[in-house]
Amino acid sequence: MCGIAGIFNLNSEPVSPVILRRMTDSIAHRGPDGEGFFIDAFVGLGHRRLAIIDLSPAGHQPMMTPDGQFIISYNGELYNFQELRLELEACGHHFHSRTDTEVLLHAYAEWGTQALERFNGMFAVAIWDRSRQELFLARDRYGIKPLYYTQVGHSFLFGSEVKALLAHPACSAALDKEALVEYFTFQNFFTDRTLFAGVRLLPPGSYLRLSLGKSQPAPICRYWDYEFAEPETVHDERE
C-alpha cells in the first residue's frame, strides 16, 4: 500500500525533521517494511514502504535521480512500467533498481506532466524539482490512491491520509460544516472537500504544482477525464 507525507514551507523556513517524522509515523500502518525521509531546507518528503516489486534496498524512498534534480515519494503501482522502462532506456536513462518507482521518476524527468498520460496504474505521487523549486502532486485517473493536502499559514502539507496532516502542530481538526451537509445529503462527497476544514482531496486524474515564492498552488490541472458519447450506429428497439 505505502504512504507518503510532506511539507513545503513557502516562507523558506526550514522543515523540522521531528514534525516530518511525526507525520510519516502516523501512517506507519500503510508501510511496515521501511521508512525514508528527504529534507531540502524548506521542503520535506516522507515515505512508508510496503515492498512488493523490488524487495531490495534499491527500492528505498524517497528516491532521487542521478543528477539530484528530482526526488520522489510515491504510493501505487504502474502496470506498464516495464514497457516504459524500455522507452526510457532508449532515451539514455539508466536504472539501478527493478522498481516502478524509478521508472515513474525518470518518466517525469524525461516527459514532464505528459508522462501522466503514459501511465497505466494507480498512484499518488509527490515530486520535488530542485532546479525549479517546484512541488508536483498527482493522482491516477480513477483516484484509486488517495492524496490529501492543506495549507496552514505558510506551510503546505500533503499526505496519503488526513491523519498525516493533523500530525503537524499547525493543522487542527476543525469541522467543515458545509462538507458535513454534503455528506449527509448524498452519503458521499462530490467535490474535493473533506470533513476537515481546509483539507482537500486532490481530484482523480489531476495534478497540482506549487512553486517557491507563490502564496498559493497553481490551479489544479485535469489531465484525464471520462468521455461519454452516443454510439455511432443506431440500435433497434430490441437492443
Q: Are 190 and 181 in contact (CB under 8 A)?
A: no
Give the list of residues 6+ apart from residue 234 with CB closer than 8 angstroms, or none: none
Cβ neighbour number for residue 236 with a 10 Å cutoff: 5
Which member of 2, 91, 171, 221 is catalytic? 2
Mark whether 91 is an active-site residue: no
Grid coordinates of 73: 515519494
**Cα–Cα distance between 3 and 25 in angstroms, integer?**
10
Active site residue ranges = 2
